[in-house]
Structure 1
């Protein structure tokens, strides 16, 4: 599950305004390469939306099925806000919605057929046949 934790206003080149939602995944424990101690963190990703600001505000705290995954991309420059250091990254974090797997769909169909006795075979309710 991911949670909507924030939203930000963005502007298109032609001046139009739109909003992006900031998503955060679950807590993960990561070992520091410097101290060898664990610390808690969470992956974050942004997704565009068609919502107005009031809707974005109302969505804060909403959970959605899915996860945030690391995805390789073309290298780009990134400035670390805390230090001002510029680094080159070749990944980004993206939201991956939870989808029904074909195996789960097959199980649902199997359950339906396994319970087909619950359906009328002749178009007449069995209760009407019993007198």
Structure 2
């Protein structure tokens, strides 16, 4: 399950404004590479919508089936807000709807037959 935490205004490739949803996974444990200590975190992802601002805002707090996964991406620079440190990342976090993922798998299997 993911929960809609906030909305975010963005621009499409034509420079037009649209609203997206910031969705967050449930809590998960991870182990720090530096200290070896375990801590809790949650992953977030941006999901584009065709909604106006009011409709997008009305979804804050709504839960959807699915999860957030790490996917490879072209390397890009990211600034850590708390420290100002600039790091290079080569992944992004993406929302996955299990129903759509199942549909894609079925289409691929039919194509192979």
Q: How would you bin the TM-score normalised by the shorter chain?
A: 0.7 to 0.9
Alignment of structure 1 residues 8-23 onto 2, 5 Å: 8-12=8-12, 15-23=15-23
Q: Which residue of 2 aligns with 1:114?
A: none
Q: Return 5+ residue gaps in structure 1 as ranges.
A: 103-131
Distance in structure 1 (CA, Å) of the matches to 2:72 and 2:18: 26
CA displacement, residues 54-106 of structure 1 (integer Å, 9 cap, x when unaligned): 1111100111111100001111111111111111110000011012858xxxx
Structure with a larger share of its residues in strand: 2
TM-score, with length taken from structure 2: 0.81
Deviation at 1:34, TM superposition (A): 2.9
3-state DSSP class of the match of 1:54? helix
Which structure is larger by alpha-carbon Rg, 1 or 2? 1
Deviation at 1:9, TM superposition (A): 1.1
CA displacement, residues 16-74 of structure 1 (integer Å, 9 cap, x when unaligned): 22101001011101122233222110110001111111111110011111110000111
User: Bigger relative contact order, structure 1 or 2, given CA contacts below 8 A and separation 6+?
Assistant: 2
Q: Return 5+ residue gaps in structure 2 as ranges.
A: 104-113
Alignment of structure 1 residues 24-103 onto 2, 5 Å: 24-99=24-99, 101=102
Distance in structure 2 (CA, Å) of the matches to 1:68 and 1:36: 24
Number of matched pairs:
103
